[in-house]
């Protein structure tokens, strides 16, 4: 199963009022494991950068002036995501911007059936709690100290870790480790059985086995382990 963890940075909050995408970051997961494959690009939004947005991601209009326009990277972007599921935090925001960029090029929107919204996952798992990316990092002990400002690729890398936690990723022992801990706490597996179990082999069973071993010839190593049984028989 191929999934793409995705994040964008933009010039504002609403693509319908002219805000544009200025950065896209993607991280590939294969069967929920990061492959190391990424897609990352800064984009010239063909407009100014509002101060509010600059304070969030630190991408100035001057920095973005020589970067490619979305139209120039659209093919590469769509080829990278291909038909993989898209894992996005607060997906409605990013998808609205991506669809607006695609619409400008006369391309169809990305189907919502492909999208996994980690904000919705977090709200179901942690109802009533704070579910921002930073809050989830704190909840799951994920290091986000590099995140001094929003950045699409870094946020995608962090979100990939959060996503695996939301799915129980660190409980790779099929959820049995806590049961084992409880068993040890109760003393399970410690000490000898108070009353030994009665043997289930009859004397006839033992004799039949020894007769079979005798037909094998030579001195097989298991003869060392049957000596006691032979004596008992």
Spatial separation of the C-alpha atoms in residues 165 and 119, rounded to whole Å: 13
Strand partners, 42: 23
Contacts of 137 (CB under 8 A, 6+ apart): 143, 144, 147, 158, 161, 162
- Please state, in angstroms and as integers, the Cα–Cα distance from residue 111 to each residue in 80, 88, 92, 106, 152, following that order: 16, 14, 12, 15, 21
Q: Beta 115-117 vs 85-88: how paired, if at all?
A: parallel
**Residue pair 87/5 in contact by the 8 Å Cβ criterion:** yes
Residue 162 CB-half CA count within 13 A: 31
Spatial separation of the C-alpha atoms in residues 22 and 9, rounded to whole Å: 6
Among 52, 75, 53, 46, residue whose Cα is nearest residue 8:
53
The question of whether 150 is a catalytic residue gets the answer yes
Angle between helices 223-232 and 203-214 (to 10 degrees): 140
Among 4, 160, 5, 23, residue whose Cα is nearest residue 97:
23
Q: Which of 89, 150, 178, 209 is catalytic?
A: 150
Residue numbers annotated as active site: 150
């Amino acid at each position: 199963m191929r999934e793409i963890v995705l994040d964008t940075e933009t010039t504002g909050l609403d693509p319908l009022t002219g805000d544009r995408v200025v950065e896209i970051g993607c991280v590939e997961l294969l069967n929920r494991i990061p492959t190391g494959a990424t897609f990352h690009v800064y984009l010239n939004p063909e407009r100014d950068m509002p101060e509010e947005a600059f304070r969030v991601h630190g991408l100035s209009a001057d920095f973005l002036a020589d970067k490619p326009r979305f139209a120039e990277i659209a093919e590469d972007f769509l080829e990278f995501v291909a038909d993989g599921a898209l894992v996005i935090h607060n997906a409605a925001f990013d998808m609205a911007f991506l669809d607006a960029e695609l619409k400008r090029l006369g391309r169809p929107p990305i189907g919502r059936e492909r999208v996994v919204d980690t904000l919705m996952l977090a709200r179901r798992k942690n109802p009533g709690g704070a579910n921002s990316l930073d809050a989830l990092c704190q909840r799951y002990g994920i290091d986000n100290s590099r995140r001094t400002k929003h950045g699409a690729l870094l946020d995608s890398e962090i979100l990939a870790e959060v996503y695996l936690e939301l799915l129980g990723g660190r409980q790779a022992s099929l959820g049995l480790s806590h049961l084992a801990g409880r068993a040890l706490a109760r003393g399970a597996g410690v000490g000898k059985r108070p009353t030994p179990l009665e043997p289930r082999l009859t004397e006839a069973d033992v004799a039949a086995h020894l007769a079979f071993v005798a037909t094998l010839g030579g001195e097989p190593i298991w003869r060392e382990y049957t000596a006691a049984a032979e004596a008992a028989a």
